[in-house]
Structure formats: C-alpha cells, structure tokens
Structure 1
Amino acid sequence: MSYDLAVWEGERPAGDAAARAVFADLHGEFMGGRGVEPTARIGQYVAALVARWPDLGADDEDEDASPWSDGPLIANASSPLFYFGMVFSKYQEAAAYAVDVARSAGLVCFDPQDGRLLT
C-alpha cells in the first residue's frame, strides 16, 4: 500500500474541485509513458527529496532507508507534473517534508486520495 502525492508547476487552483480538474488534465496529458523531460523546477524539487532520503535503484541494498515506493523517483516526473508514491509505513514524515519543499518552491501540492490541495 502506498500514499501518493502530485506536485506541479503552475497557478494554484482556486480550491479543491479546481485542483482535481487540473490534476486530471495534467495526469492525462503528461503521465502515460511518453517520457517527457521534467521542467527544471520539478527536477530541482525531486533532487531535494532524494537529497533527504535515498532514491531507489536496482542496486540498493537497504530499501528500508527510503520512503519512496519506487525509483528512480525522477521517473515519476513528466514536464510540469510529478506524481509519486511513498510506502505507507513512512508516508507521514516524507509527505510533510514533500509538502514543505513544494510550498517553499512555489509548486502546487495535491493529495489525489483525498482530492485536496496541500499547499
């Protein structure tokens, strides 16, 4: 089981309903295996997350050190959207950090499970 977050570059939606619509549009356009290069700001955001906790890769010996549900984490980024998961046992600390970093970077952070804005 995992906990997912979506972070994107753009205007902050007016509310949760608008954020759900924006997320659906972005997800439909950018997530789907097209392999679009992430924007610089999204790349910097992902780098901040993996600087705090190790990225997962094929040669990781201790997957318990990372809260990420898959890796490399940057593979979950496409253009202005980053949609990623955290293992449920570690999501609270990782999600709090992810939201803080998104807020400080001027990015929108959205909880797709609850359909609500976090920043």
Structure 2
Amino acid sequence: MSFDLAVWDCEQPLDDDAAGSAFDELYERYLESEETAVPPSPRIEAYVNALIERYPEDGRDSPWASPPITDEASGPIVYLLMSYVRAEEVSEYAASLAREYGLICYDPQGETLRS
C-alpha cells in the first residue's frame, strides 16, 4: 500500500478542482503517454534530487514504494509513491520542499492541494 503525491511546475491553481484538472492533464500527457519519455524539467529534477538527498532510495529505511523516483518524473511533473508507514513524515517534507522550489503539491487520493 502506498501514499501518493504529485508535484509539478506551473502557475498556482485557483482551487482543488483546478488542481485536479491540471493533474489529470499532466499525468495523461507526461506519465501515461506511450511516446518517448520526456526528461524532467530542471526544477523537477532539482526537487527530486533534494528528496533523494534527504530520503535515499536504497536500503531498508527508504520510504519510496517505487524507486527510483527519477523514473516517476517526466517534463514538469513527478509522481511520488511512498510507503504508507512513513507517509505522514515524508509527505510533509515533500510538500514543504515543493513550496521552497515554487512547485505545486497535490494529493491525488484526497483530491486536494497540499499547502
């Protein structure tokens, strides 16, 4: 079981509904697409690297349910899957870090923006 967050680079959505629509579009375009993979944007790549620095992908203590998380990044979006056991700690840090990087953090399961 995992807890998921989506983080992307775009203008701040007005509300949860707008964020949900943006997420659906980005997910379909960049993560579900069967076309050639798109490298992560520089801000997403820097964000992912900062996450990995804090929470390494290997070892028994890794919180990631689907490492490497770099494989979950494409263009302006990254989809994070974290173990449910550490979801509260890691998702709080991921949301805080997203704010530092000027990125949008969205909980697709709860369909809400993480501020």
**Please, what TM-score do these two structures have when normalized by structure 1?**
0.91
CA deviations over 1:24-83 (Å, ceiling 9, x no partner): 000110012542100000000000000001114xxxxx3x21111111110000000101
* Runs of 4+ off more than 6 Å: none
Structure 1 unmatched runs, 5+: 57-61
Which one of the candidate residues 46, 54, 57 is aligned to 1:55?
57
How many residues align? The count is 113
1:1-119 maps to which residues of 2 (within 5 A)? 1-32=1-32, 33=34, 34-56=36-58, 62=59, 64-119=60-115
- What is the CA RMSD across the aligned residues, in angstroms? 1.0
**In 2, Cα distance between the equivalents of 1:52 and 1:118?**
19
Q: SS at the partner of 2:37?
A: coil
Compute the displacement of 1:16 (Å): 0.3
Query: Please, which moves more after superposition, 27-36 or 92-101?
Result: 27-36
**In 1, Cα distance between the equivalents of 2:20 and 2:11?**
13
Q: Indicate the percent of aligned positions where both proteins have the same amino acid.
A: 40
**In 1, Cα distance between the equivalents of 2:81 and 2:37?**
18
**In 1, Cα distance between the equivalents of 2:9 and 2:23?**
11
Structure 2 unmatched runs, 5+: none
